[in-house]
């Protein structure tokens, strides 16, 4: 049996005191843990070196199971006389949401508690915004618990309600309020799709100052009854597990909460014939993790330690994920926490300083344990390693993002900008449940920011409460906002939504959908569901659309596919073509049959160097000559370009289009546009859809090694790579974002093909607009097909092993 409580009133340990005893109404201004034990990483003897030695055998033997018990287990006669129960007493404040999700178990029983002496709608003074009441908190926690329940025959989890502070009311008023509480929770959840998991009557009304309060005993009886009637009651477990379970219990009794796996394995060997094999030990640890008994992550970098007592991790988390009322008195530490809640950032040295507090230092005294805990928190997306989009070296990043601590909401003024709608398409994931727990939103934001970097302004990340602005490239960004039952995404391309690269939109949608699936699966497995055959596709639906009257105007994918236009509730007309970019088929090389070419707004834009280079690559040299002459470039200009670049067809095409764009042509407008290029293509009977292709991006990363993609290439790589490339300085430079003017300077300063390419690569690496990553370089090489891709792939694959 696992018992949880969510407390939303005057102290974090109410249920523990009620069930165990020691009732106390004394107000507390400090955080306390859900146990009366002092936490220690006892007897591990971890040194400051990287090698961690085994403890002495006599210390292992101190926790060994008695021989007589081992004999009983071996003979099959051992019986468990007491059914153990894990009691986890959660704080109810929203700031602790990220800690609660670590321990919410599918097979648990939850007691949602609230202050019965207050009106259900009365704003709680603990929340200065005035938006939080008993009603909103109860609804928040019930929905949080039930969001990930699979609609099957399992009766667990179960939720009960208990009001506190009955001693502040008369006996008659207590009886009346109990009836009102039942009516209230029935009205709130009587039609909930998961109501079979809720006990509506009775609602217990308890007096925490009276050890003998009958309502406390009634609550205990109800909990025992639920435990005895749940499906797992009486199920047999492998007898061979018993010795190790008893050994872990012995360790917990003396406050050993985190232990090296090799130490546990050594202790396991002391059980002789009943010792588990390595495979059995892993199965045991993973099963115990699923049941919430321990925490064990079977992943490289995390599988060296086992957290025997999971609430120890909560106590560590509380050092920086906490309400301001629980902040330490030390002003330096308060400033660290204040800055973190304002910016969503915490420097590693500041985090380690917070962990020097006595109650945390007792848990993780040595550096190895601190690094392990940091890696666990990164794995859980409590801490997020920021991706960088500037040229700053990743090694210079000495801070973490902490999405769950940010209090400021995203300013929605961007919706007031009339141009925003013309530059943006929208995507909405609508969950088919009553609400999205804030812990899920924090993890989703954290996971997404591990794929795209969070945009920064004035060195401040644009990270907000359950929302963020993420960077795609110098002209493209997207906002993700989690609210109620929706995840809203705004993809914005600065010039116009009509020039959004379809591959980018589709890749973002695919990554977000994959990430949301992964996050939902994480929670399902975290609460005790088997990871086998988990299907979360029915938990949400996807809608696409545009911005309309300062809000998303959406249709389901099936609806938008069936129409080219639709009229929304605001009587505005929307074209389906651009919302459908979210589900664009990236494998198709040609435009779909219903494509009419570039939108009029796109046709008015000035082509960039990259656009011209991509168009030039699609034209043979004869057609390109005919087109630029039709556009007004004199034939002598073409001859001069042809002579200067010695018959290199692609370079001639690029430079001819570049010269046309920049040269003042008599009788023609000084500003060139895509419309001019369209007329030029028509004049030579070329396909107008060649212009659509210049906006395509290669976002297929299937051939790119998933190894250090954010790494910046070093000098050795930049010096060796040109040896594997052809004559590609111009095309390579343009795709890497170097201007044609700068590339021409390189060609003047460096006469050899090798020297030109090296200089182009160095200019790119030293750029500051976008981070010059290996991933970006490999993607460009894959696009231009001039060699070098396999060299980089082999280099970075071999360097990782």
DSSP state of 202: P
Is residue 123 within 8 Å of residue 134, measured between CB atoms? no
Question: Would you state the structure tokens that stand for residue 6, as one six-digit string?
Answer: 């969510």
Q: Residue 235's pLDDT is what?
A: 66
pLDDT at residue 340 greater than cutoff 60: yes
pLDDT band at 746 (very low <50, low <70, confident <90, very high): very high
Give the DSSP letter string of 565-602: EEE-TTS-EEESTTGGGGG--TT--SPPTT---S-HHH
Q: Give 13 or 398, the one with higher predicted confidence.
A: 398
> How many Å apart are CA 261 and CA 372, to the nearest integer?
12
What would the 3-class secondary structure string for 79-124 be?
CCCCCCCEEEEEECCHHHHHHHCCCCCCCEEEEEEEECCCCCCCEC
Whether the predicted pLDDT of 443 surpasses 90: no
**Taking a C-beta distance cutoff of 8 angstroms, is the pair 692, 598 a contact?**
yes
What CA–CA distance (Å, rounded) separates 151 from 587?
37
Q: What's the token pair of residue 747?
A: 């060609």
| CA separation for the pair 403, 303 (Å, rounded) | 25
Strand stretches in 275-407, DSSP E = 305-307, 345-347, 399-401
Burial class of 394 by CB neighbour count within 10 A (0 to 12, 13 to 18, 19+): middle
Q: Which two tokens stand for residue 730?
A: 């111009």
Per-residue pLDDT for 281 more than 90?
Answer: yes
Q: Is the pLDDT of residue 85 over 90?
A: no
Task: Estimate to the nearest angstrom the gap between the alpha carbon of 245 and the chain centroid.
Answer: 34
CA–CA dist 75, 153 (Å, integer)? 36
The predicted pLDDT at position 395 comes to 45
Q: Mean pLDDT highest for which of 456-460, 660-664, 790-794?
A: 660-664
Q: Which two tokens stand for residue 540?
A: 């949400």
Mean of pLDDT values over 133-159: 77
The three-state secondary structure class of 547 is strand
Instruction: Give the pLDDT band (50/70/90) at residue 72.
Output: low
Once rounded to an integer, what is the mean pLDDT over residues 615-642?
94
Which among 38, 35, 42 is positioned nearest to 86, based on CA atoms?
35
pLDDT higher than 50, residue 788: yes
* Comparison of pLDDT for 8 and 227, the residue scoring more: 227
370 pLDDT more than 60: yes
Q: Are 461 and 396 in contact (CB under 8 A)?
A: no
For residue 732, give the H/E element and its range. Answer: helix 729-735
Q: What pLDDT, on the 0 to 100 scale, is given for residue 271?
A: 79
Share of the chain above pLDDT 70, in %: 78
- CA 625, 627, 628, 629 dihedral sign is positive
Q: Give residue-wise pLDDT tens across range 696-729.
A: 887 665 444 444 446 788 888 889 999 998 888 8
Q: Which residue has the tokens 């007898």?
A: 239
Which tokens is 361 given? Answer: 């230092």
| 17: its two tokens | 């005191």
Contact 101, 4 (CB under 8 A): no
pLDDT of residue 474: 82
pLDDT of residue 79: 62
Higher pLDDT, 47 or 558: 558
The whole-number pLDDT of residue 28 equals: 34
**What pLDDT, on the 0 to 100 scale, is given for residue 65?**
58
* Other residues' Cβ atoms within 10 Å of the Cβ of residue 233: 11
The residue-averaged pLDDT of 144-154 equals 66
> Which residue would you say has higher pLDDT here, 124 or 128?
124
Q: 3-state DSSP helix/strand/coil percent for the chain, to nearest 5? A: 45, 15, 40
Residue 316 near residue 310 (C-beta atoms within 8 A): no
Question: Could you say which DSSP state residue 405 is in?
Answer: G
How confident is the model at residue 764, as a pLDDT?
92
Average pLDDT, stretch 605-628? 94
Using the predicted structure, report yes or no on whether residue 78 has a pLDDT greater than 90. Answer: no
pLDDT category at 679 given cuts 50, 70, 90 is very high
pLDDT over 50 (residue 21): no
Confidence at residue 531, expressed as pLDDT on a 0 to 100 scale: 56
DSSP string, 635-647: HHHHHHHHHHTTT
Q: Tokens in use for 4?
A: 């949880």
What pLDDT shows up at residue 515? 84
Among 74-83, 401-410, 615-624, 784-793, name the most confident range.
615-624
The domains of the chain, with CATH numbers, are 2-32+108-229 (3.40.50), 404-583 (no CATH), 600-693 (1.10.533.10), 715-798 (1.10.533.10)
Residue-wise pLDDT for 516-534, tens only, equals 888 777 766 655 555 555 6
pTM of this prediction?
0.73
What are the tens digits of pLDDT across the range 639-676?
999 999 887 899 999 999 999 999 998 888 888 999 99
Tell me the C-alpha to C-alpha distance, in Å, between residue 794 and each of 36, 704, 724, 797. 55, 11, 12, 5
Integer Cα distance of 11 and 209 in angstroms:
13
Which of 46-60, 366-380, 586-600, 614-628 shows the highest mean pLDDT? 614-628
- Name 39's bridge partners: none
| Spatial distance between the Cα atoms of 341 and 482, rounded to a whole number of angstroms | 18
Say whether the peptide bond before residue 157 is cis (omega within 30 degrees of 0): yes
In sequence order, what are the residues at sequence separation of 6 or more whose Cβ sits closer than 8 angstroms to the Cβ of residue 122? 133, 134
**Listed residue (456, 347, 444, 339) closest to 397, CA to CA:** 347
On average, the pLDDT of the chain sits at 80
With beta carbons less than 8 A apart as the criterion, state whether 421 and 542 touch.
no
Q: How far is CA 138 from the centre of its chain?
A: 26
Pairing between β-strand 476-483 and β-strand 158-164 as defined by DSSP bridges = unpaired
Other C-beta atoms lying within 10 Å of the C-beta of residue 456: 17
CA-based nearest residue to 31, from 44, 13, 43, 7: 13
pLDDT level of residue 794 (50, 70, 90 thresholds): confident
């Amino acid at each position: 049996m696992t018992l949880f409580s969510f407390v939303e009133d005057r102290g974090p340990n109410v249920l523990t005191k009620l069930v165990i005893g020691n009732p106390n109404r004394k107000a507390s201004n400090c955080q306390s843990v859900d146990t009366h034990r002092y936490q220690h990483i006892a007897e591990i003897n971890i040194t400051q070196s990287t090698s961690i030695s085994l403890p002495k055998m006599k210390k292992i033997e101190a926790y060994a199971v008695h021989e007589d018990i081992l004999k009983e287990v071996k003979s099959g006669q051992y019986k468990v006389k007491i059914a153990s129960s894990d009691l986890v007493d959660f704080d109810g404040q929203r700031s602790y949401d990220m800690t609660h999700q670590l321990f919410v178990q599918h097979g648990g029983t939850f007691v949602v508690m609230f202050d019965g002496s207050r009106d259900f709608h009365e704003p709680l003074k603990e929340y200065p915004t005035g938006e939080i009441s008993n009603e909103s908190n109860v609804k928040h926690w019930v929905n949080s618990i039930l969001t990930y329940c699979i609609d099957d025959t399992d009766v667990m989890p179960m939720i009960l309600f208990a009001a506190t502070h009955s001693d502040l009311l008369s006996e008659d008023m207590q009886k009346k309020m109990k009836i009102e509480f039942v009516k209230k929770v029935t009205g709130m959840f009587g039609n909930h799709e998961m109501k079979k998991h809720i006990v509506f009557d009775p609602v217990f009304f308890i007096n925490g100052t009276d050890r003998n309060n009958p309502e406390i005993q009634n609550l205990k009886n109800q909990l025992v009854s639920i435990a005895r009637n749940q499906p797992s009651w009486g199920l047999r477990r492998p007898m061979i597990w018993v010795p190790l379970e008893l050994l872990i219990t012995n360790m917990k009794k003396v406050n050993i909460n985190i232990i090296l796996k090799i130490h546990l394995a050594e202790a396991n060997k002391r059980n002789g014939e009943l010792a588990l094999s390595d495979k059995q030990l892993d199965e045991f640890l993973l099963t115990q993790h699923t049941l919430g008994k321990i925490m064990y992550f079977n992943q490289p970098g995390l599988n060296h330690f086992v957290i025997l007592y999971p609430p120890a991790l909560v106590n560590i988390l509380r050092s920086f994920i906490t309400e301001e009322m629980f902040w330490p008195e030390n002003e330096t530490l308060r400033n660290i926490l204040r800055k973190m809640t304002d910016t969503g950032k915490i420097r590693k040295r500041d985090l380690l300083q917070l962990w020097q507090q006595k109650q945390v230092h007792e848990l993780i005294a040595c550096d190895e344990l601190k690094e392990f805990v940091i890696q666990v928190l990164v794995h859980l997306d409590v801490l997020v390693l920021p991706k960088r989009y500037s040229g700053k070296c990743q090694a210079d990043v000495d801070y973490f993002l902490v999405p769950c601590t940010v209090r400021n909401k995203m300013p929605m003024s961007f919706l007031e900008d009339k141009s925003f709608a013309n530059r943006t398409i929208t995507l909405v994931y609508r969950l088919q449940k009553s609400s999205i727990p804030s812990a899920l939103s924090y993890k989703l934001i954290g996971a997404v920011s591990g794929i795209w970097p969070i945009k920064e302004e004035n060195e401040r990340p644009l990270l907000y409460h359950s929302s963020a602005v993420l960077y795609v490239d110098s002209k493209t960004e997207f906002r993700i906002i989690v609210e109620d039952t929706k995840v809203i995404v705004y993809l914005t391309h600065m010039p116009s939504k009509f020039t959004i690269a379809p591959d980018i939109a589709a890749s973002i949608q695919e990554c977000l959908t994959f990430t949301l699936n992964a996050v939902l699966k994480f929670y399902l497995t975290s609460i005790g569901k088997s990871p086998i055959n988990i299907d979360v596709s029915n938990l949400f639906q996807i809608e696409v659309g545009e911005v309309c009257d300062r809000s998303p105007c959406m249709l389901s994918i099936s609806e938008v596919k069936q129409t080219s236009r639709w009229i929304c509730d605001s009587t505005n007309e929307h074209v389906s073509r651009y919302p459908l970019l979210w589900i664009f088929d990236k494998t198709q090389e040609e435009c779909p049959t219903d494509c009419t070419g570039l939108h009029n707004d796109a046709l008015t834009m000035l082509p960039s160097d990259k656009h011209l280079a991509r168009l030039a690559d699609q034209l043979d040299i004869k057609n390109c000559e005919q087109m630029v002459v039709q556009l007004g470039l004199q034939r002598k200009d073409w001859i001069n370009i042809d002579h200067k670049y010695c018959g290199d067809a692609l370079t001639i095409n690029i430079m001819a289009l570049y010269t046309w764009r920049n040269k003042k042509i008599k009788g023609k407008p000084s500003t060139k546009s895509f419309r001019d290029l369209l007329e030029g293509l028509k004049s030579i009977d070329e396909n107008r859809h060649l212009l659509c292709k210049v906006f395509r991006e290669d976002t297929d990363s299937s051939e790119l090694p998933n190894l250090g993609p954010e790494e910046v290439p070093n000098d050795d790589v930049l010096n060796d790579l040109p040896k594997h490339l052809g004559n590609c300085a111009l095309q390579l430079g343009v795709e890497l974002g170097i201007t044609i003017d700068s590339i021409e300077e390189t060609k003047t300063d460096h006469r050899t093909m090798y020297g030109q390419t090296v200089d182009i690569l160095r200019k790119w690496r030293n750029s500051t607009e976008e981070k010059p990553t290996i991933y970006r370089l490999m993607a460009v090489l894959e696009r231009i097909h001039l060699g070098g891709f396999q060299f980089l792939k082999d280099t970075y694959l071999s360097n990782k092993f």
